[in-house]
Amino acid sequence: MTGSTRFDPLDARLIAALRNNPRVGLLEVARQLGVARGTVQARLRKLEASGVITGHGPEIDARALGYGIAAFVLIELAQGRLGEAVTVMEGIPEVLEADGVSGPQDLICRVVARDTEHLQQLINELLSTPAIRRCTSYIVLSRQVPPRTLPLVTATGRSN
């Protein structure tokens, strides 16, 4: 969010209402929040324009699609070949996200696989490019805290 854009408790309540019931109409959100529909629309536009809200798509559970294994893969790159590695990762649908990190590895990826054999195939595919020198995988045994942003939104709304 840019420094000139203000985030307040109403913004936090609006996001919470949409996260709790993503299919709710704006008129109902306005009723729940005790504000005019136009206020909800204007706030929503502001939050989208400032980059706070980045999407409205449905959340997907990869396990329900048949991907029973979740893993993190740490990747060490060949010097100067980040772009090539990213192109390879973008071509693998099971790579859900990849972030550049500090430390001995260069990237950390979140991946899903049907089973351990499929995970091995994904690792082999990543290693097939000279841009990637080494992969270290960590299979997720259980999720203790699911992906979440609402507590952060709520805390930010209170602190401003």
Domain ranges for the chain, please list them. 9-58, 62-139
Which pLDDT does position 1 carry in this prediction?
Answer: 42
Predicted local confidence at residue 154, as pLDDT:
86
Q: Domain 9-58 maps to which CATH number in 1.10.10.10, 1.10.1060.10, 3.40.50.2300, 3.40.50.1980?
A: 1.10.10.10
Contact, 102 vs 144, CB < 8 A? Answer: no
What does residue 136 show for φ and ψ, rounded to 5 degrees?
Answer: -125, 120
> Which pLDDT score is estimated for 160?
64
Phi, psi of 138 (to 5 degrees): -130, 115
62-139 placed in CATH 3.40.50.1450 = no
- CA 6/CA 2 separation, integer angstroms: 8
Q: What is the pLDDT of residue 2?
A: 43
**C-alpha angle 91/101/143, rounded to 5°?**
75
pLDDT along the chain (160 residues), means of 10: 68 91 91 95 94 86 96 97 97 98 97 98 97 98 91 83
Q: So what's the pLDDT on residue 63?
A: 95
* Alpha-carbon span 134 to 127, nearest angstrom: 7
Distance between CA atoms of 134 and 77, rounded to whole angstroms? Answer: 7
Strand residues in 50-105 grouped as ranges (E): 69-77, 95-100
